[in-house]
Amino acid sequence: MSMTTILQHCLTGISLGGAYALIAIGYTLVYGILRLINFAHGDIFMMAGYFMIFSLASFPWPVAILITLVVTPVMGIAIERVAYKPLREAPRMSIMISAIGVSYLLQNLSTYLFTAIPRGYPEIPFLKRIFRVGELSASFVTILTPVLTIILVMVLMTLINRTKTGMAMRAVSKDFETAKLMGININLIISVTFAIGSLLAAVGSILYFTDRMSVTPFSGTLPGLKCFVAAVFGGIGNIPGAVVGGFFIGIVETLLVALGYSTFSDAFTFLLLIIMLLVRPTGLFGERSVEKV
Amino acid sequence: MTAEAARSPGARAWARFRRNRLGFYSLVLFVVLYAFATFSVIRYANKVYPTVVIDGETYTVRLVEADNKSDKTEAVTAAQSLISSGASVIIGSYGSGVSIAAGDIFNDNKVPAIGASCTNPQVTAGNDYYFRVCFLDPFQGTVMANYAIQEGAKKAAVITQLGDDYSSGLGNFFARAFRSLGGSVVSEQQFQTNATDFKSILTNIKAANPDVIFAPSSIATAPLIIKQARELGITAKIMAGDTWENSSIIENAGVSAEGVVLSTFFDDADPATAEAGTFISGFKTFLVENKQPDIIPAVSALGYDAYLTALRAIEIANSTKGSAIRDALEKVDIEGVTGRIIFDENGDADKDMAFIKVVENGQFKFLKTVSVI
C-alpha cells in the first residue's frame, strides 16, 4: 500500500470519525442529564437529512442550512415533550422503550411520507469542491468535518463549564431533585440539552450526507448504533469521551475496510461494545458512579 | 384468476360459488419495493389483458399485491401472505436474493412463480415451481466481460455486496469470464449491505489502477459508488448489470454517471416484436397518465412478459390449479416484449442476447447487442 493510499484512508477515517463524534455527543448529553439512552437520536439525524433535502429544494443553501439547524432541534424538543416528559416519574425502562418506539415511528413515518427509495442529497457547491494534492483527492467537506467537530466541541465545553445554563446542566446531571430545589427549571434545561444534541446531529447530518449523497428512512439506524457504541466506549455521559470514541470507531472502521476486512467492519464496532462493557463498563473516561440510595 | 365473471348475474354467482369452494382463483403478484415502476407495469398489463378464458368461460384476473421491501425476511412474509390469499400464479420478484428466499414457499405450496429480473441461477435451480423470463447472471457476466475485452480493457476491478446473491454471483461470473478471456482482475472488493461510504474500497481500487470497474449492486448504492469514485479521481470505466438501468441512478449521480455502461434485457428504441411496439406506446401513455417519467426500464418489460406468460399458461392448463399451471408453463411459447419466451428444463427462459447501454447526456443510450453462445 503506497503512502498516498494510506493518507487517503486516514483522511476518510478522520472525516467519518468527526461525523460520528457529533452524533455521539447527542447520546452522551442526554444520558448525562436524563440517564436515558435516546434511541431515537439516529433517526433525528436521518430526519435532519430529509429537512435539508426539502429546504434546499426551495431555498438557497445558506437559508436551507439555517432552516435545518432550526427545525431539527425543534423536533428534538418536541419528541422530548411528547414521548419522554410524561414518563419522567416512570421507571427508567419505560422511557427507554418509549425512545425505541419513537425511533421506529420516525423510520416508518418517513418511509410513508418520503418512500424508501433513496433520495439524492443535494450538493452544496462550496462543500463539494474537490481538492487535489498530488495523488490525494478529497472534497472540502472531508477536510471540514473533523475541524468543525473540534471547534463545536470546544464551544460546547465552554458553554457547559463557563455559562449559567451550563452550570445548571451540570447540576441537573449530578442530582435531579436538589437542582430542582435550587430553583433550576428542570424542563427548560432538559429542552436545552435535547436542542443541543439535535443541533449537533443536524450539523453531523449535513456533513455526513454531503459526503455520502443519499438518504433513506433507515440511514440513521446504523450510524446511530455506532455512535451509541462510541459514546459508551468513551464513557457515556462524558463529552470528550464521546468525541474520542467517535473518531476511534470511524478510523478503525475505515482501516478495516481498507485492509479488505469489510465483512468485519460492523462486527468490530459491536465487539468493541461487548468488550468495553465486560472490561470497563464506565468507558475510557467515565467516572465510576456510586448508586445513591 | 378470479372470479368476477363477465356476463350475466347468473354466471357471476356461479363464479363466486366456484371461487368460494375452490379458493384459489386469483393471479397474484409479489413485487419489490422500488415503487411505482414495479407494480405499475403489472397493473398496466392487467388493464390491457384483464381477462382469461377457462373452460370457455371468461374470468377477470384479480391482482393481489404484496411488497417484499427488497428484504429477504419480508419476502418470505410477502410470499406467505400471497399463498394464503389463494394465488394461482405468482409474478416476481425482481431481485434474486428475495426470490431465492421465497422460492421454497412457492415450491412447497405448489404454486408456480414467474420471476421477472431475478438473474441468479439459484432462483430456479432445484425449484420445480420457479420460472423466469430473463437471462441468467453467468450469461450476463460473460456478456460484460466480452464487452470490456472488446473495448481494450486488460485490468478489471470488481466490487460486490456481501451476502447479496445477485451482486456476488454476477461479480464472480464476470471475474471468471474476464480472466478466461485473457484479462486480469486486479482488485476484488466487498462492502456491507447499507454501506454508504465506499471511499476505502475505492481508494484500494485506485491504487490497483484498473481499466474497468465492474460493480453490480442495488440502485441505492450505485450513485454512491459512481460519485465517490469520480470524486477520488478514478477515471476507469464503470460497468454493472441490469439493475443499474434505472433513471434514479442518473438523477442521483448527475454528471458523474456519464459513461457508465450496463447490460440489460430490452431497448425501447428498438422493439423486438409486434407485442413490444404496442407495449411501448401503450405503457408510455399509461406512465404519463400516472405522472411518471415515460422511460421504460427493462424490468418493466420483463414484468409485462411475466404477466403474459402467466395468462398463457393458465389458458393452456385450462385450470387455476397450481400444479396444472406449472405443467402448462413448460409448454408456453409466446412472443413477448423482450423476445420469444420458451422455458428450458430448469424453468429459465431461453435467451441469448443482451443489450448494452451507456449513459450519455443524462439518458440511457443503446450501444450495441452482444450475443454469447
The residue of chain B nearest to residue A254, with distances taken between CA atoms, is: B200
CB–CB of B31/B42 below 8 Å? Answer: yes
Do residues B64 and B42 make contact, with C-beta atoms less than 8 angstroms apart? no
Beta bridge partners of B114: B91, B131
| Stretch among A113-117, A275-279, B141-145 having the lowest mean pLDDT | A113-117
Please list every residue in chain A whose beta carbon sits closer than 8 Å to the beta carbon of residue B200.
9, 12-13, 254-255, 257-258, 262
* A161 located within any domain: yes
Q: Is residue A273 part of a domain?
A: no
Number of folded domains in chain B? 2
A140 burial via Cβ count (<10 Å: 0-12, 13-18, 19+): middle
Indicate the residue type of A45.
F
Question: In this predicted structure, what is the pLDDT of residue B29?
Answer: 43
If asked whether residues B59 and B167 sit together in one domain, one would say no
Dmax (CA) for chain B in angstroms is 74
Q: Do B96 and B196 share a structural domain? A: no
Q: Calculate the average pLDDT of chain A.
A: 90
Give me the amino acid identity at B218: S
Query: 3-state DSSP call for residue B53?
Result: strand
Does the distance separating the beta carbons of A222 and B194 come in below 8 Å?
yes
* Chain B interface disruption, residue of A4, A9, A12, A20, most B CBs within 10 A: A12
Q: Is A263 within 8 Å of B190 when comparing Cβ atoms? A: yes
Q: Using alpha carbons, select from B99, B76, B75, B67 the residue that is nearest to residue A112.
A: B67
Backbone angles phi, psi at B17, to 5 degrees: -60, -45
Answer whether residue B2 is part of any domain.
Answer: no
Q: Are residues B214 and B76 located together in one domain of the fold?
A: no
Instruction: List the CATH number of the domain containing B99.
Output: 3.40.50.2300
In tens digits, chain B (373 residues) has pLDDT values of 443 434 555 555 545 444 433 333 344 444 433 334 467 888 888 889 888 888 888 888 888 888 777 778 888 888 888 888 888 888 878 888 888 888 999 999 999 999 888 888 888 988 999 999 988 888 899 999 999 999 999 999 999 998 888 899 999 999 999 999 999 999 999 998 878 889 889 999 999 999 999 999 988 889 889 989 998 889 999 999 988 988 888 888 888 899 999 998 888 777 777 888 889 989 989 888 887 777 788 888 888 999 999 989 988 988 888 899 999 999 999 988 888 899 998 899 988 788 899 999 988 888 888 877 5
Kindly report which listed range (A42-51, A178-187, B65-74, B150-159) carries the lowest average pLDDT score: B65-74
Contacts A216 to B, Cβ<8 Å: 220
Shared domain check, B173 and B105:
no
Residue A261 lies in a domain: no
Domain annotation covers residue A235: no
Would you list which residues of chain A are within 8 Å, Cβ to Cβ, of chain B?
1-2, 5, 8-9, 12-13, 16, 115-118, 120, 123, 130, 132, 135, 137-139, 211-214, 216, 218-219, 222, 254-255, 257-258, 260, 262-263, 265-266
Total domains in chain A come to 1
| H or E segment to which residue B263 belongs | strand B261-264
When pLDDT is averaged across residues A200-223 and rounded to a whole number, the result is 90
Report yes or no on B3 lying in a domain.
Answer: no
Domain with B282 in it: 9-135+271-342
Pairwise CA distance, residues A53 & A71, whole Å: 13
- Report yes or no: B165 and B97 within 8 Å, Cβ to Cβ: yes
Rounded-to-integer distance, Cα A137 and Cα B230, Å: 10
- How far is residue B131's CA from residue B313's CA, in Å, rounded to a whole number? 12
Residue B106 phi/psi, 5-degree rounding, is -70, -40
Asked if residue A6 is part of any domain, the answer here is no
Q: Strand A214-215 and strand A119-120: pairing?
A: antiparallel
Residue that is written with C-alpha cell 478471456 in the block: B181
Question: DSSP state, A80?
Answer: I
Which residue in chain B has the smallest CA separation from A115? B35
| Among chain A residues, CA nearest to B163 | A263
Residues B164 and B257 in one domain: yes
Residue A281: alpha-carbon gap to chain centroid:
21
Looking at the structure, tell me whether residues B218 and B362 fall in a common domain: yes
Peptide bond into A15 cis (omega under 30): no
The predicted pLDDT at position B38 comes to 62
pLDDT of residue A108: 93
d(CA A266, CA B180) in angstroms, rounded, equals 35
Please name which of A216, A72, A208 lies closest in space to residue A144, comparing C-alpha atoms: A208
- Do B84 and B215 share a domain, yes or no? no
Q: A143: burial class by Cβ within 10 Å (0-12, 13-18, 19+)?
A: middle
Write down the pLDDT at residue B96: 86
Crossing angle for the helix pair A92-114 and A41-58, to the nearest 10 degrees: 30
Asked whether residue B347 is assigned to any structural domain, the reply reads no
Contact between residue A204 and residue A19 where contact means Cβ atoms under 8 Å apart: yes
Residues of the domain holding A119: 17-221
Q: What are phi and psi of B315, to 5 degrees?
A: -70, -40
Nine-digit cell string for B232: 477520488
**What's the rounded Cα separation, in Å, for the pair A166 and A156?**
9
Q: How many CB pairs under 8 A join A and B?
A: 87
Query: Would you say residue B1 lies in a domain?
Result: no
- Give the Cα separation of B119 and B164 in Å (integer): 12
Spatial separation of the C-alpha atoms in residues B262 and A71, rounded to whole Å: 41
Partners of B349 in the β-ladder? B343
Q: Let me know if residue A241 belongs to a domain.
A: no
- Pull the grid cell for residue B207: 491504487
Q: Using a CB-CB distance cutoff of 8 angstroms, which residues of chain A are in contact with residue B35?
A: 115, 117
Three state DSSP letters for B1-43:
CCCCCCCCHHHHHHHHHHHHHHCCCEEEECECCCHHHHHHHHH
Task: Please tell me whether residues B119 and B40 are part of one structural domain.
Answer: yes
- How far is A289 from A237, CA to CA, in rounded Å? 11
Q: What pLDDT is attached to residue B12?
A: 57
Q: Angle at which helices B96-108 and B165-180 pack, to 10 degrees?
A: 120
> Among all chains, which residue has been given the C-alpha cell 438523477?
B251
A238 within some domain = no
DSSP A86-133: GGTTS-HHHHHHHHHHHHHHHHHHHHHHH-SSPEEPPP-HHHH-EEEE
Q: Are residues B29 and B123 in the same domain?
A: yes
Of A90-99, A280-289, B2-11, B84-93, highest mean pLDDT: A90-99
Interface touch B207/A139, C-beta < 8 Å: no
> To which residue does cell 477536510 refer?
A143
Q: What is the pLDDT of residue B17?
A: 43
- CA A263 vs CA A252, A271, B168, B217: distances in Å: 13, 13, 13, 16
Q: Is residue A179 a part of any domain in this protein?
A: yes
Which residue in the set B35, B162, B192 is minimally distant from A117, CB to CB?
A: B35
* Helix-, strand-, coil-residue percentages of chain A, each rounded to 5: 75, 5, 20
Q: What pLDDT is attached to residue A88?
A: 87
B166 and B153 share one domain: yes
Of B51, B54, B47, the residue nearest B4 (C-alpha): B51
- Do the domain assignments include residue B348? no
Q: Is there a single domain that holds both residue B129 and residue B277? A: yes
* Residue A212 Cα, gap to closest chain B Cα (Å): 6
Q: Are residues B222 and B358 in the same domain?
A: yes
Helix (H) and strand (E) counts for chain B?
Answer: 12, 16
Q: Residue B86's closest CA among B29, B27, B24, B129?
A: B24
> What is the pLDDT at residue B20?
38
A32-36, A90-94, B120-124, B172-176 — which one is most confidently predicted on average?
A: B172-176
Chain B CB contacts of A260 below 8 Å: 189, 204
* Weakest-pLDDT range from A153-162, A274-283, B6-15: B6-15
Among the partner residues A1, A137, A218, nearest to B233 by beta-carbon distance: A137
C-alpha count within 13 angstroms, C-beta hemisphere, residue A161: 8
Cα dihedral B286, B287, B291, B297, rounded to 10, equals 170
pLDDT of residue B354: 86
ipTM: 0.75
Which DSSP category does B51 fall into? E
